Structure 1
Amino acid sequence: MTILDRKGRHSPKRQTTRNTGLPRRWAIAAICSLSTLVLAPTIAKAQEFPSKPIHLIVPFAPGGITDISARLLASKLSERLKQSVIVENKAGGNQTIGAEYVATSPADGHTLIMGTMGSHAVNASLRKDLRFDVKTAFAPISVVTTQPLILVVNPQVATSLEELLSLMKENPGKYTYGSAGVGTTAHMAAELFQIQSGVKLVHIPYKGSGPMLTDLIGGRIDLAFDYAPTALPQVEGGRLRALAVTSAERADFSPKLPAMSEFIPNFAVTAWQGLFAPTNTPASIVDQLSKEVQLVMAMPEVVANLQAKGAKAGGNDPEEFNRFVQQEIEQWANVVRMNNIQPD
């Protein structure tokens, strides 16, 4: 059939889609609109975070400062995210068991780790047998807590740091120190202490600070670096003597206790706990978690809770935390190399 326009000229027949009578471009637009409506809930769901419980891995047994920090953070994050944050303890292998579990987990923000100086800085140079690269396997989110260690001795060993240093220099290799394991913060603090003070000690590693403190109290080892929550009760009970803190300045929880830098210039070791996700976790999720951590760590009740345990609340953005971790990796690699530290 020929269609004529008003002037009697031939007019091409409008192309229509089969069976609908609609112009093809209208049909395509309708299909696209329908697809958008169908896919919209799926896209929104994919972008939703968290969409299920978050598992926060602690690479230690329950009870230590890392576990305490993780549980405090988890309870507050659960409230803010309206989703459960479950703390799981996966101890062993100098923190590598928990770290590997997270490093090989889906990078969706639902599996995180409360890392430490040992797991995310020291092990980068100490452990060559890992099935993941500590430097690249994680996405830093935020530092959570920081705290100094306390140098404690059996009361029969010395009454001051000055006296202890004199005894150790007169008797190289005689005095022993304990730690919760090779590569832990306490171990590395003692190794740095030897480098900067020029003394020589014998390391006795334990599987946790509990048995180490038992032997220190019993006189089977001479000294140790330990955290305030576990060391101070023993000091207050007269079973151990505190000689100094490892922070650059005196600590608020015990201002009468000298800083080691007062006797060993520039000595400073600050233990830390920080939140990490598997690498390739979407930046939007990392940023969201970082902002939530910063808000939680600024809460007055959280600050007070940590202060009572000798710790400070942290909180920083992923870029700042990443720079800090890289500096820690470099610093402790030098200590590992200088003292030829070997894994268990």
Structure 2
Amino acid sequence: MAFTRSLKILIGLSALAATAAAGGAGAAEFPDRPVTIVVPFAAGTTTDLVARVVGEGMSENLGQPVVIENRAGAGGSVGTDEVVRADADGYTLSMGTVGTLAINKSIFPNLPYDPETDVTPIAFIGYTPTLLVVNAESDYNTLQDLVDASKSGDGVTFASAGNGTSGHLAGELVKERSGGNMVHVPFRSGAEGLTAVLSGEVDFMFYHPVAALPNIEAGTMRALGVSGAEGSSIAPDVPPIADTHEGFDLIAWFLMAAPADTPPEIAKRLNEAVEASLASDAVVAHFKKNGIEFGSIEYADLGTFISEEIAKWGDIAEAAKAGVD
């Protein structure tokens, strides 16, 4: 996936004029009270930490407190549904992810919201590729070693944080592209899956670089590839899987979203606040430390981006039969 390095917000004057009568007064005063960012996952998760550091910068720019509320459940669907049902006034936002705004539409047949019609995309936050890791004592020194092993004997196994997660679907895509016998072993969390790889219970998994690197540096784990086509800044020596499997480009991303029908002028104000926060020293330092990459998408293209991601991950989920009944 290619990202531009500049973000130009283009909101037509006609759209502003159309909403002026209904919401102009309120928008002119926005915000005049605290803004809430709903994180649809538990406190301490990567999504939560990103929301908190970005929210702090937004608060400084908006001149109002930004409150973080955690509403975990159903792969992030519970918290996201809470946001889409909120008033479209800019005061309730969601820290959206590749799961809540793309993967879940294919995984949950009764998803209570539609990420293509029920949200107003505000700003692209950033993304992180994942590392394909194996036990350092295994015989797998390259991705090809792993693929060869998957085509002999009983094949190989791979762990994930659960059915339908990005790590699960990344493993399924490797399986589909290589034609090997790779069996998915879901765990309740990524940390449990990582422990299973370290113990030799499972052969490999895809995991966030910042969590896997301590084991790699300690010599107990080896990285064979990175899921993003552009590699990882925090693990620059790990080759992209796309180098040997053309078109392989899967990343976990974050995108701020509001309810559908949020007035364009309020969406613009929020976008400006997010962009100012992303340029702050605190956010730059946090992203660098945690292997989160910056990447901008034109404001007008955010909806298209979500639709394209839904289609891409949906194809993988369908091939993997990863839907939840």
- Interval of TM-score (by shorter of Structure 1 and Structure 2): 0.7 to 0.9
2:144 is matched with which residue?
A: 162
Deviation of the 1:219 alpha carbon: 2.2
TM-score, normalization: structure 2? Answer: 0.86
Whether 1:65 and 2:46 are equivalent positions in the alignment is yes
Q: In structure 2, which of residues 190, 199, 215 is the aligned counterpart of residue 209 of structure 1? A: 190
TM-score, normalization: structure 1? Answer: 0.82
Deviation of the 1:194 alpha carbon: 1.6
**2: CA distance, partners of 1:338 / 1:177:** 17
Whether 1:118 and 2:99 are equivalent positions in the alignment is yes
Unaligned runs of 5+ in 1: 1-41
Residues 314 and 266 (structure 1), Cα distance of their counterparts in 2 relative to 1, 3 Å cut: closer
1:146 is matched with which residue?
A: 127
SS at match of 1:199: coil
C-alpha contact (below 8 Å) 1:100/1:131 kept by paired residues: yes
SS at match of 1:95: helix
Whether 1:108 and 2:89 are equivalent positions in the alignment is yes
Amino acid in the other structure paired with 2:63: K
2:316 is matched with which residue?
A: 335
**1: CA distance, partners of 2:316 / 2:72:** 24
**1: CA distance, partners of 2:160 / 2:242:** 21
2:162 is matched with which residue?
A: 181
Deviations along 1:294-323, one digit per CA (max 9) or x if unpaired, are 222233542233122111124444322212
SS at match of 2:75: coil
**1: CA distance, partners of 2:179 / 2:24:** 61
1:82 is matched with which residue?
A: 63
**2: CA distance, partners of 1:165 / 1:43:** 59
2:285 is matched with which residue?
A: 304
Deviations along 1:207-252, one digit per CA (max 9) or x if unpaired, are 3212222222222222110111211122222232211111113322
Residues 314 and 298 (structure 1), Cα distance of their counterparts in 2 relative to 1, 3 Å cut: farther
Amino acid in the other structure paired with 1:334: D
**2: CA distance, partners of 1:308 / 1:132:** 34
For the aligned residues, what is the CA RMSD?
2.0
Deviation of the 1:182 alpha carbon: 2.2
**2: CA distance, partners of 1:70 / 1:97:** 17
Unaligned runs of 5+ in 2: 1-22
2:242 is matched with which residue?
A: 261
Deviation of the 1:148 alpha carbon: 0.9
**2: CA distance, partners of 1:342 / 1:229:** 29
**2: CA distance, partners of 1:171 / 1:282:** 59
C-alpha contact (below 8 Å) 2:116/2:306 kept by paired residues: no
Give 4+ residue runs of structure 1 displaced > 6 Å after superposition: none
**2: CA distance, partners of 1:300 / 1:192:** 36
Amino acid in the other structure paired with 1:234: N
SS at match of 2:239: coil
**1: CA distance, partners of 2:141 / 2:43:** 32
**2: CA distance, partners of 1:207 / 1:53:** 35
Deviation of the 1:51 alpha carbon: 2.3
Which structure carries more relative contact order (alpha carbon 8 Å, separation 6+)? 2
Residues 48 and 95 (structure 1), Cα distance of their counterparts in 2 relative to 1, 3 Å cut: same
C-alpha contact (below 8 Å) 1:145/1:311 kept by paired residues: yes
Amino acid in the other structure paired with 2:143: L
Residues 46 and 110 (structure 1), Cα distance of their counterparts in 2 relative to 1, 3 Å cut: same
**1: CA distance, partners of 2:229 / 2:202:** 26
Amino acid in the other structure paired with 1:164: L
SS at match of 2:74: coil
My pick for the range that moved more, 301-310 or 110-119, is 301-310
Amino acid in the other structure paired with 1:273: F
Q: In structure 1, which of residues 229, 242, 247 is the aligned counterpart of residue 210 of structure 2? A: 229
**2: CA distance, partners of 1:320 / 1:214:** 39
SS at match of 1:308: helix
Deviation of the 1:159 alpha carbon: 2.3
1:35 is matched with which residue?
A: none
2:199 is matched with which residue?
A: 218
Whether 1:136 and 2:117 are equivalent positions in the alignment is yes
**2: CA distance, partners of 1:316 / 1:333:** 21
Deviations along 1:133-191, one digit per CA (max 9) or x if unpaired, are 2321111111101111111112233222121111112246x322121222222122112
C-alpha contact (below 8 Å) 1:294/1:315 kept by paired residues: no
